[in-house]
Structure 1
Amino acid sequence: METVLFDIGGTPITVLEALAGGLAIAVLGLIIVLIGQTRAARQREEQAAIDAARNGEMERHMADMMRIQSEMTGRMQTMSEIFGNRTSDLARVLTERIDASSHRVNQSMTETRTKTDETLTKLNERLAVIDRAQTNITQLSGEIVSLQSILSNKQQRGAFGQGRMEAIIADGLAPNSYEFQVTLSNNSRPDALIHMPNDAPSLVIDAKFPLEGWQRITDAETPEAVRAAMTGFRNDCTTHIKAISEKYLIAGETQDTAFMFVPSESIFADLHERFEDVVQKAARARVVIVSPSLLMLSIQVIQALLRDVRMREQAHIIQKEVVALLGDVGRLNDRVNKLQTHFRQANQDIDDILISTGKVTRRGEKIEALEFEDERPSLLE
């Protein structure tokens, strides 16, 4: 019989039951302890996993941060290099532009200096021209004063016209083609006598134009004085034209036309403009009024006529020379033909020599190739 240890609620508890209960409680406690330990281990494992995960995440973040830092460092280095290169390029470009600007400025300054020098040189040349022109004007003023003094004296006016006429004739004709102040058969003395070709009568030129009458027209100050001076000048010209016609137009000795020389182009133009009646009277009297330019043209025509006459006089000599020249050309043609024949024969001889040298060359080639064959000599060898 089992011993009851105590009662619980009227239920007797024996030693065996107490032992079983204690064992159950011990097992239960052990189970609870094991469960607690398992949970603690699980919690520790979970915490370790969480910690590992957190550590891995932190490592990844750290790796990402290191990578980002490395990339940032590389980018910073790249940006630094780019900035350095850009800075160098910018400095180089600025240097080149500054050099180009300096070159352009120097070139512009050089060109400006050159143009300035040229302008100053041209200015100096123009100033020199102006100085020469001023000197010429001063000389011309003196000559005008001298001309006025000449025109104020009748004898000097005559010498002035005579001098201009003689200079024009002497410049255009040979010395044996004219004479000055020669006496004609009626004892008159024209200022110039031009000898015409083919024994034709000579041409008379008069240089005693009434310049004093024209000077009075120039000096007149009132219309009445001008009209009076023009009337006097017209009468002087008419009288002079009549004297030329009567004294210098000698049949068989002089031409039927004489020249009246006017020593000024302006007077000549004024005469034709305001004194047409005087020009017509001169034409009717067979007196031609000529200015320096017209006299020069007439002298050139006479010079051409004299040259043509001399050419005709020498025509037989020229013809003889041409015949002799034709003979020389014929002989030259014969000699050229003979020379051509010699050249043709020389060409033939050269062709024969080339044929012989060709044969010698071919025989030498055969000898070099040891081709010894009996050949009958040809007729051309």
Structure 2
Amino acid sequence: MFRYMDPITIIALVVAAGALALAAFVLLRSGKRDASADIAQTTERLAAQQAELAGRLSQIAEADAASQKALSERLQNQEIAITKTLEERLADVTKKVGDSLQQTSTKSSETMTKLQERLAVIDAAQKNITDLSAQVVQLQDVLTNRQARGAFGEIQLQDLVQAALPPSAYEFQKTLGNNKRADCVLNLPNPPGAIAIDAKFPLESYHLLRAAKDDAGRAQYARAFAADVLKHVRD
């Protein structure tokens, strides 16, 4: 079986074979007994050339090996540099993506918090509106019933008078000289003197006056409202 041989060994064998062939050629051609001297000289020259060639081939092989080593080191260094650059860029991209996701998450959380706060405000306002609507309905019920409306008017009258005047300037539920009872009497100096106030008033006539669509209607309902007030005063 043939084993692998490097180029220098192959060339040396070729040179040696050439030298032997040349020596055989010289022997056959000369046919002389002193041809051995020529063969020896030729062999020496060939050996010297072979040695020189082997030296050059060795230098070439060493230079080629050094070049291969330098190329390998350069490629390895380039690979290391490229790998480092890719790792740095990947780390930078990963950091930017992470920061962006964190900012997005933070903004989303803040937005949700603000939205929940606004919804809470809206819910509170809705509850207030619902409560106010219930109170308005209750007030409408009170104003619809004359007896309840009278009691409500008396309470409002007391609150207004007590907030504006000292206790000596008014009396509530006072019986007058004609045996009629006033909801409130204001004790004012003359003139005008004492003034009796009734908390009740003709609400139906007042609603009709407010609902009038034109001047003629407003004038008509204003006269009716004034007549009802005058009748209530006389009563």
Structure 2 vs 1, CA of residues 145 and 218 (structure 1 numbering), >3 Å: closer, same or farther? farther
Report what 1:146 is aligned to. Answer: 142
Report what 1:7 is aligned to. Answer: none
Report what 1:358 is aligned to. Answer: none
Structure 2 vs 1, CA of residues 204 and 68 (structure 1 numbering), >3 Å: closer, same or farther? farther
Does residue 91 of the first structure (1) align with residue 65 of the second (2)?
Answer: no
Does residue 170 of the first structure (1) align with residue 162 of the second (2)?
Answer: yes
Report what 2:105 is aligned to. Answer: 109
User: How many pairs were matched up?
Assistant: 186
Q: Distance in 2 between matches of 1:208 and 1:139?
A: 21
Task: Indicate which of 197, 201, 206 corresponds to 1:214.
Answer: 206
C-alpha contact 1:179 1:194 (8 A) present in aligned 2: yes
C-alpha contact 2:187 2:193 (8 A) present in aligned 1: yes
How do 1:135-284 and structure 2 match up within 5 A?
135-147=131-143, 149-150=144-145, 153=146, 156-182=148-174, 191-194=183-186, 204=195, 206=197, 207-217=199-209, 228-237=220-229
Report what 1:127 is aligned to. Answer: 123
Structure 2 vs 1, CA of residues 234 and 196 (structure 1 numbering), >3 Å: closer, same or farther? closer
C-alpha contact 2:172 2:185 (8 A) present in aligned 1: yes
Give the letter aligned to residue 100 of structure 2: R
Give the letter aligned to residue 102 of structure 1: G
State the SS of the aligned residue for 1:102.
Answer: helix
Q: Distance in 2 between matches of 1:99 and 1:128?
A: 43
State the SS of the aligned residue for 2:134.
Answer: helix
C-alpha contact 2:187 2:195 (8 A) present in aligned 1: no
Q: Distance in 2 between matches of 1:222 and 1:119?
A: 48
TM-score (norm 1): 0.37
Q: Distance in 1 between matches of 2:214 and 2:96?
A: 77
Segments of structure 2 that go 5 or more residues without pairing to the other structure are 1-40
C-alpha contact 1:178 1:194 (8 A) present in aligned 2: yes
Measure how far apart 1:226 and its partner are: 6.8
Segments of structure 1 that go 5 or more residues without pairing to the other structure are 1-43, 244-381
Report what 1:375 is aligned to. Answer: none
Give the letter aligned to residue 95 of structure 1: A
Give the letter aligned to residue 101 of structure 2: V
Give the letter aligned to residue 82 of structure 2: R
State the SS of the aligned residue for 1:120.
Answer: helix
Q: Distance in 2 between matches of 1:93 and 1:67?
A: 38
Measure how far apart 1:201 and its partner are: 7.3
Question: RMSD in angstroms over aligned alpha carbons?
Answer: 4.7
Q: Distance in 1 between matches of 2:104 and 2:114?
A: 15
TM-score (norm 2): 0.54
State the SS of the aligned residue for 2:171.
Answer: strand
Q: Distance in 2 between matches of 1:101 and 1:85?
A: 24
Structure 2 vs 1, CA of residues 157 and 224 (structure 1 numbering), >3 Å: closer, same or farther? farther
Structure 2 vs 1, CA of residues 124 and 214 (structure 1 numbering), >3 Å: closer, same or farther? closer
Give the letter aligned to residue 94 of structure 1: L
Q: Distance in 1 between matches of 2:202 and 2:82?
A: 98
Deviations 1:108-148 (A, max 9, x none): 2344244324423532442343234223323322322332x
Measure how far apart 1:97 and its partner are: 2.2
Identical columns (%): 21
C-alpha contact 1:190 1:204 (8 A) present in aligned 2: no
Q: Distance in 2 between matches of 1:97 and 1:80?
A: 25
**Which gives a bigger RCO, structure 1 or 2 (Cα 8 Å, sep 6+)?**
1
C-alpha contact 1:213 1:229 (8 A) present in aligned 2: yes
C-alpha contact 1:191 1:205 (8 A) present in aligned 2: yes
State which structure, 1 or 2, has the greater radius of gyration over its C-alpha atoms.
1
Measure how far apart 1:208 and its partner are: 4.8
C-alpha contact 2:188 2:195 (8 A) present in aligned 1: no
